[in-house]
Chains A and B, each alone.
Chain A
Amino acid sequence: MAKAPQSPFGLFAIDHLLSEEERSIRDVVRSYVDDRIKPEIADWFEAGQIPARELARELGQLGVLGMHLEGYGCAGMSATAYGLACLELEAGDSGLRSLVSVQGSLAMYAIHAFGSSEHKEQWLPQMAAGETIGCFGLTEADFGSNPSGMLTNAKQDGDDWILNGSKMWITNGSVADVAVVWARTDGGIRGFIVPTDTPGFTAREIHRKMSLRASVTSELVFDEVRLPKDAVLPGVASLRGPLSCLNEARFGIAFGTLGAARDCLQTAIDYSLNRIQFDEPIASYQLTQRKLADMALELGKGMLLALHLGRLKDEHLIRPEQISLGKLNNAREALAIARECRGILGGNGITLEYPVIRHMNNLESVFTYEGTNEMHTLVIGEALTGIPAYR
């Protein structure tokens, strides 16, 4: 007789590794995603539009935005709790998690880590509340993996700064109230806080995406944007600034991708139990079971890795190359799981009636952004050999 099926994370007894508080946070975000996001997400994805401002306010009320930062209206939770929230958000959609990553780990983190106390007072409380949306400009059309070649520059003009150049693939760009923009200056690469209503600033939304359709992606253009002296982030004058922000976001992605993968795998398991071919559910065939078992293994291993990284981060012991382990592995395996699940769902797997192809297409972006698969591989290669192969 058939036993009651266990969930993949249940099989790994993942709950055993979480505190009651961590489980509460996970449960709250999961119910928000179940109630608010899942019923609408397929429509948003198909339309290529999301109510970003409304969602930001709701996420702000929950406390998700900048939740791992201390003070200034932020919740001050652990890195692990932040990871678990990312996982649940991305079980909804990678676009939703991207909105939160960019707001909290890129824009807010940059201000929190490198801003003056006036910057923090001015921007962080309203960003934590979701009243103000931020974006983060580092990547340029011709400088992705190699941001040190950036062309965007800022020159001093009396007491002011004049910003020129452009940034590409900027999540939240067209809905943002404020952009943290990294630019070349005579004194090294500096970060600037740029309100998006500053004359000379334009954001053009990128259309015809087949991935992250429930997320706003834009090009930012700066044409003689005049900024006051205190627009510059005082805390850093090198690529260490933006790269440390990216480490925060990549950490969240190591967890987040597992959410998308879990949603695919659970969907495929349920589907395989109900889909009858040759008079039996396809779950009863060994070929299907092998796929499910292999996927559950990768999902569970990815979660153990992510939780390990979370504990390291909470003890302030984590190193950037360790975050690369998590981002590389979990984005890669999540994408592989999504593709395999798409196959299990057969023809039904290609429609938005099921979440699988949506996650699969989203994960193509996640595989590339925040450090490509190749760059993280080379970071790990350098850690193992001491030789930087990307230079």
Chain B
Amino acid sequence: MKIAVCVKQVPDTWAEKRLRESDRRLDRESADGVLNELDEYAVEEALRLVEAHGGEVTIVSMGPERAAESVRKALSMGADAAIHVSDDGLAGSDALATSLVLARALDGRDFDVVIFGSESTDARMSVVPAMVAERLGWAMLTFAQKVDVDGTTVAIERAGDGETVSVRASMPVVLSVVEKINEPRYPSFKGIMAAKKKPVESLDIASLGLDAAAVGASGAWSEVADFAARPAKAAGTVVTDEGDGGAQVASYLVEQKLI
């Protein structure tokens, strides 16, 4: 089984993120770049599937030069090879452009399964996996909390509001996984050493045969028009308990439609 895992480098989840005044984009230099947390679950699931069924795992990432560190982290967890798409012309790509680039990088390489984390901690749109599936014309199984492979059939479980849904599709498929699915391993020291020697294929807009106008800021279908800092927290309401404190708190919660 050939599995690709699409990963993204994001600003450290716990760092304070800032938008730049000049182009209203995220200032990626202001925080350390880390492998998007949910993508670690995607890598882990791919490794488990390959450990159970055989095959190989390829990491696919679009991002600037420094994203190579996150690619290497995924390799140090145990993936076999990587494809890193990097080009200055990709800066400012929106979800549509990103899905175009990823689909082009994935197409024609005989992958059976492509796995994504269900969202990135910076953009948080959760749409790229579906867009990539659409562009490839493959089945799409999203928000999986459990994955089973039987021959060429992939079955997932997805938690709904009141029920758990089981969905099946034939390979090739695009999956996105949620954090309930597994517990990602730590890269071992041997894995870190081995990752340095694993093949990383570098691609850019030209080598993918893409039109430069279709990607990057120029190809974006939407733009950030304006942004404002979150207003400072207002002072809370203090309820003095004179025997009816509980009732007052309850009525406040009802008022806020919290209960």
User: Which residues from chain A sit less than 8 Å from chain B, CB to CB?
Assistant: 4, 20-21, 24-25, 28, 31-32, 61-64, 67, 75-77, 81
Contact = CB atoms under 8 A, between A and B. Distances in A.
Contacts of B233: none
Interface in B1-35: 16
A217 to B, nearest CB: 28
B166 interface: no
Nearest to B191: A63
Contact of B187 (A28, A67, A81): A28
B16 A4 contact: yes
Given A21-B193, A24-B73, A75-B193, A62 B16 contact: no
Given A4-B16, A28-B192, A61-B186, 6 more contacts: A20-B69, A24-B76, A25-B192, A63-B188, A67-B189, A77-B189
Contacts of A24: 69, 72-73, 76, 187, 192
Contact of B196 (A4, A21, A62): A21
A81 B193 CA distance: 12
Contacts, number: 38
Contacts of B124: none
A62 B188 CA distance: 5
A62 B72 contact: no
Contacts of B193: 21, 75-77
A75 B72 CA distance: 18
B33 to A, nearest CB: 12
Nearest to B77: A28
Contacts of A32: 186
Interface in B117-174: none
A95 B188 CA distance: 22
Contacts of B196: 21
Contacts of B72: 20, 24
Contacts of A76: 193
Contacts of B187: 24, 28
Nearest to A67: B189
A28 B186 contact: yes
A110 B91 CA distance: 54
A31 B16 contact: no
Contacts of B190: 63, 75
A81 B69 CA distance: 18
Nearest to A31: B186
Contact of B189 (A4, A20, A25, A31): A25
B197 to A, nearest CB: 12
A380 to B, nearest CB: 33
Contacts of A20: 69, 72
Among B72, B186, B190, B193, residue most surrounded by chain A Cβ atoms (within 10 Å)? B186
Among B72, B73, B76, B188, residue most surrounded by chain A Cβ atoms (within 10 Å)? B188
B149 to A, nearest CB: 26
Nearest to A64: B189
A154 B198 CA distance: 51
Interface string B56-88: 000000000000010011001000000000000
